[in-house]
Amino acid sequence: MKELSLNILDIAQNSLRANSTHIEIDLTEDKTSLCFTIRDDGCGMTPEFLSRVTDPFSTTRTTRSVGLGLPFLKMQAEMTGGCFSIESKAKQISPELHGTVVSATFIKTHIDFIPLGNIVDTLCALVMGAGEVDVTFVHRMPEREVSFSTREMREMLGEGIPLSAPEVIAWLREYLLDAYAAA
């Protein structure tokens, strides 16, 4: 991927597919590192499955023909001297509390660091495709913070207007661009 924000979009799509009701994206940056965590309350994965998802050469992966999103992310983080972690609780094992947390830390000063890129485009694409799923986003920077939550947006919009409406996505884009410009 050419931008970390593309990895974020890709990983968040996993959460959408896992039947989550809520996805939380937390991005924290300082001078030397960038860390993001994507947390969902979806179906989760069993420990057996989880141990294989970050290994692109696992036979299970090829026979199941699952993709490369998580191995990509792990590789990109580790290439910068950062780290990657994934934790998951499968719904069939833990019916009350289930979901997945993916975290990746990147060292910004490393030559292999790929910039965050257009996070606003990622968030707009994500909300557009999220349907009824709620998204919370916060980007913490040393002296400022940009955030939004689709719950708050839905409250203002009331019933009957989907977040995917182009007018709403256009608003979100400008809202975020304003927030980043002011931040």
Partner 1 sequence: MKTLADLAAIRDKMKGKVAIREGSSDTRIVVGMATCGIAAGARPVLNAFVEAVNDAAMTDSVMVTQTGCIGICRLEPVVEVYVGNEPKVTYVKMTPEKAKEVFAKHIKGGAVVTEYTVGSAE
Question: Applying CB under 6 A, which residues contact ligand ADP?
Answer: 14-15, 18, 40, 42-45, 53, 66-70, 100
User: What CA–CA distance (Å, rounded) separates 51 from 68?
Assistant: 14
* Pairing label, strands 22-29, 134-141: parallel
Which secondary structure element, helix H or strand E, spans residue 148, and what is its range? Answer: strand 144-149
Residue number with CB closer to Mg ion (53 or 168): 53
Q: Is 44 a residue that touches Mg ion (CB under 5 A)? A: no
Tell me if 175 contacts partner 1 by CB under 8 A.
yes
* Distance of alpha carbon 130 from alpha carbon 109, whole angstroms: 34
What is the footprint of partner 1 within residues 80-119 (CB under 8 A)? 118
Residue type for position 112: D
Report what 124 binds from Mg ion, ligand ADP, partner 1, none; CB cut-off 5-8 Å by kind. Answer: partner 1
Structure tokens at 168: 């709403």
Residue 157 touching partner 1 (CB under 8 A): yes
Number of residues this chain uses to bind partner 1 (CB under 8 A):
38
For residue 55, the Cα-to-chain-centroid distance in whole angstroms is 20
Interaction partner, residue 105 (partner 1, Mg ion, ligand ADP, none; CB < 5-8 Å by kind): none
Q: Is residue 29 within the footprint of partner 1 (CB under 8 A)?
A: no
Residues 6+ apart with CB under 8 A from 148: 123, 136, 137, 172, 175, 176, 179
- Binding at 18: pick from partner 1, ligand ADP, Mg ion, none (beta carbon under 5-8 Å per type): ligand ADP
Residues that bind Mg ion (CB under 5 A): 14, 69
